[in-house]
Structure 1
Amino acid sequence: MKGFLYKRILQLIPTLLIVAIIVFFITRMLPGDPAAVMLGPQASAEDIAAYSEKLGLNEPLHKQFFDYLINLATFDFGNSLTYNRPIMDLIIERFPNTIILAVSALLLAVMIGVPAGIIAARKQNTIIDYSVTTLSLIGVSMPIFWLGVMLVLYFSVNLGWFPATGMGSLEEGFGSFIRHLILPSVALATIPTAEFARIIRSSMLETISQDYIKTARSKGLKEFKVINKHAFKNALTPLLTVIGLQFSGLLGGAVLTETIFSWPGMGLLIVDAIEKRDFVVVQSTVIFIAVIYVVINLIVDILYKVVNPKVNLDSNSGGGK
């Protein structure tokens, strides 16, 4: 286990370096002059040139890149060009909001997707199985930006049940907080729910066909006990991988959801930074999310070993058998 952890931690360095290089050059390719965007259309050419000099945008690209890597290595994310605040303060302020949204969507997806997959596996080749499979396909294929707009249009505009945008404050009451959370959580949970249902159905069908399940049934055990104590436990390993990947994806994929619902999280921060050409914020937030992503994948591999000690963590597949 220790050897595996050391190996995976060392693998984080080149991974994050590649992400840093890609993000740096992509942000430099964004159209528009950051100084001109931040100063506004009333700024003169002399003001724009002076501000570009102050931001270091006139430095050679290789020097900007070298300074950028040095700052990352020393965990110095710098200050936002538009908010005029330390970027780490912005991340600390916004990241908990994204975590709340991502965890809510993940819990919703698990509570709906896992039971749906189990029921579909038990009712294989029935109308229930076909319905779950069809809904899973629709859920995976449905664009979040379209679903989010439809949810707002129907449940907020037409019915008035839920707020269309914003994040409720606990100071306004727990009910207000939950009402603001429901629509973005449902929109963000759609794809993970479909994935969980599909994966658990496939895994359960494979597990149910095993001899030890047939033996348990022949001993007269109740079907509920056979499914939950024997079959589901052994079908859980593939689900762990999908949960880890989906949670990582929820953190990064919340950009569209947070933009549609004006949820003040990391995704909305990135979109605002792109619009204002605040490339320093874009770089730092993407790197931060990349770190979270690889750490979650590392935790999933460790959980693999906890759930199934037979898993070989030293294999090249990262949690392969």
Structure 2
Amino acid sequence: MSTYIVRRILSTVPVVLFVMIFVFSLLYLAPGDPAAILAGDQATQQDIENIRRELGLDRSFPVRFVEWSVGIAQGDFGRSIFTREPVSRMILTRVEPTLSLMVVTLVIALIIAIPMGVAAAWKRGSLLDRVIMLVAVLGFSVPVFVVGYMLAWVLALQLGWLPVQGYTPIAEGVWPWLRGLLLPAITLSGVYIALIARITRATMLEILQQDYIRTARAKGVANNSVLFVHALRNAMVPIVTVVGLGIALMISGAVVIETVFSLPGLGRLTVDSILRRDYPVIQAIILIFSFVYVFINLLIDLSYTIIDPRIRY
């Protein structure tokens, strides 16, 4: 077990290094001279040189990369070119809305999608199965921002059940916090629900054909026990895998959802930074999202050993 864990952790090191090199290279891969672009049309040559020196473009790539990596290890992402604030402080003030959105979205998706997939597999070919698969297809087909505007119009503007935009910190109360997140989380969970439900159904259909399932039924085991104890437990590896992969969907979807519902999170900060060409902030956000994705996939790999102990060997 310990050998497997160490091997999986070490396997992430090259991935992390590659991500850091790629993210740092964004400044050098940008078309044209980033310093001249940031300085504007009215800037003098001295202004451009000052920006180049501030961005580190006057030093070689290896030297600058080492300095940048050391700063990252110390929690220093540099300063924003636009606001002059430390990037780490800007990110810390935006973490809570994005993290809250992702957690609530994940909980909603798992609560809805797994029972949907199990029910569709149990009633294969029935009207219920067709309806669930239709919902899954719609979840993939309709763009997230379209769903967001439709739900905002119905639930917020017409019925007045939920606020249409804004964010309430959890420190001000759990219900105000949750109420402000329900609408964007439901919107973002649509694609995630469709993905998990389809994978759950496909995996459960395969598991339900196994001999031990037929044996359990022959012994008179209740349907709920057959589905959720015997079948679902053995179908968890593909489901957990798709949950991990779906984190990438949530990260990319958060950029759109936070813009639609005016959430002051990392997604909104990403859009603003791109529009301002605030390279240090862009680099830091992409790096953090990449680290989170690598870390979550590492946790998913390690969870396999709990779900199916045979994977350890």
**TM-score normalised over the length of structure 1:** 0.86
CA distance in 2, matches of 1:163, 1:7: 47
CA distance in 2, matches of 1:91, 1:10: 28
Q: Deviations over 1:117-169 (max 9, x none)?
A: 11111110011111111211121222212222332333334444322221124
Q: Deviations over 1:278-308 (max 9, x none)?
A: 1101111111111111111111111110111
- The answer to which of 238-247 and 183-192 deviates more is 238-247
- Please name the residue that 1:155 is paired with: 155
- Please name the residue that 1:49 is paired with: 48
Q: Deviations over 1:198-223 (max 9, x none)?
A: 11111111111111111111111221
> Unpaired runs of 5+ in structure 2?
none
- Please name the residue that 2:21 is paired with: 21
- Shift in alpha-carbon separation, 1:159–1:310, aligned structure 2, 3 A: same
Aligned residue type for 1:24: F
Q: Deviations over 1:246-305 (max 9, x none)?
A: 235423431111121121111111111111111101111111111111111111111110
- CA RMSD for the aligned pairs? 2.7
Taking the TM superposition and a 5 Å limit, the aligned residue runs for 1:165-314 are: 165-170=165-170, 173-312=173-312
- Shift in alpha-carbon separation, 1:84–1:129, aligned structure 2, 3 A: same
- Shift in alpha-carbon separation, 1:170–1:66, aligned structure 2, 3 A: closer
CA distance in 2, matches of 1:110, 1:170: 22
2:188/2:257 contact within 8 Å kept: yes
Q: How many percent identity over aligned positions? A: 35
1:258/1:268 contact within 8 Å kept: yes
1:33/1:277 contact within 8 Å kept: no
> Unpaired runs of 5+ in structure 1?
314-321
1:37/1:276 contact within 8 Å kept: no
- Shift in alpha-carbon separation, 1:238–1:89, aligned structure 2, 3 A: same
Q: Deviations over 1:11-33 (max 9, x none)?
A: 32321222223323334455687
**TM-score normalised over the length of structure 2:** 0.88
- Shift in alpha-carbon separation, 1:218–1:185, aligned structure 2, 3 A: same
- The answer to which of 263-272 and 61-70 deviates more is 61-70
- Shift in alpha-carbon separation, 1:173–1:302, aligned structure 2, 3 A: closer
Aligned residue type for 2:265: G
Q: How many aligned positions are there?
A: 312
- Please name the residue that 1:94 is paired with: 94
Q: Secondary structure of the residue that 2:79 maps to in structure 1?
A: coil
Q: Secondary structure of the residue that 2:311 maps to in structure 1?
A: coil
- Please name the residue that 1:319 is paired with: none
1:167/1:263 contact within 8 Å kept: yes
CA distance in 2, matches of 1:247, 1:177: 22
2:237/2:307 contact within 8 Å kept: yes
